[in-house]
Amino acid sequence: MKIRKNDTVLVIAGKDKGKKGKVRFAYPKRERVLVEGVNFIKRHARATGQVRQAGIIEREEPIQVSDVVLMCSKCNRPTRVGYRTLADGKRARICHSCKEVID
C-alpha cells in the first residue's frame, strides 16, 4: 500500500475533505488507514467491566486509502506516490512533484 503508518495525508473525499492528519494505523488488507482527527464516529457505550463511563464516545474510524493523498515530507505538497529502485535493490517511494525519496 502506498500510504504507511506515520505518513501525513490530506483527505480528498468524504466529510473530512481538506483535513490533514497523521496516519496512526494502516490496514493494507482492508485498504484503509486510521488518520488522526479524521472520520470521528459517535458510538454508544455501556458501562461494563472495562469501560467505566457509559454514554456517547467519539473515536476515529479508518477511511479508505483512496480518499487520502500523501503529503510529501520534502516539498510539503499533496502528491502521488511513485517508486524507485535504490542502489541496494530496495524499492523506495518517491514524490511525483519533487522526485525526492520519501522513505
Question: 54-58 long-range contacts, Cβ below 8 Å, gap at least 24?
Answer: none
Report the DSSP beta bridge partners of residue 92: 84
Residue 64 or 76 with smaller CB distance to Zn ion: 76
Rule CB under 5 A: say whether 95 interacts with Zn ion: yes
Segment near Zn ion (CB under 5 A); pick from 20-28, 34-42, 52-60, 67-75: 67-75
Rule CB under 5 A: say whether 72 interacts with Zn ion: yes
In angstroms, what is the minimal distance from the CB of 97 to Zn ion? 4
Rule CB under 5 A: say whether 10 interacts with Zn ion: no
Buried b (16+ CB within 10 A) or exposed e, 57-80: eeebebbebebbbbbbeeeeebbe
Give the footprint of Zn ion on this chain (CB under 5 A). 72, 74-75, 95, 97-98
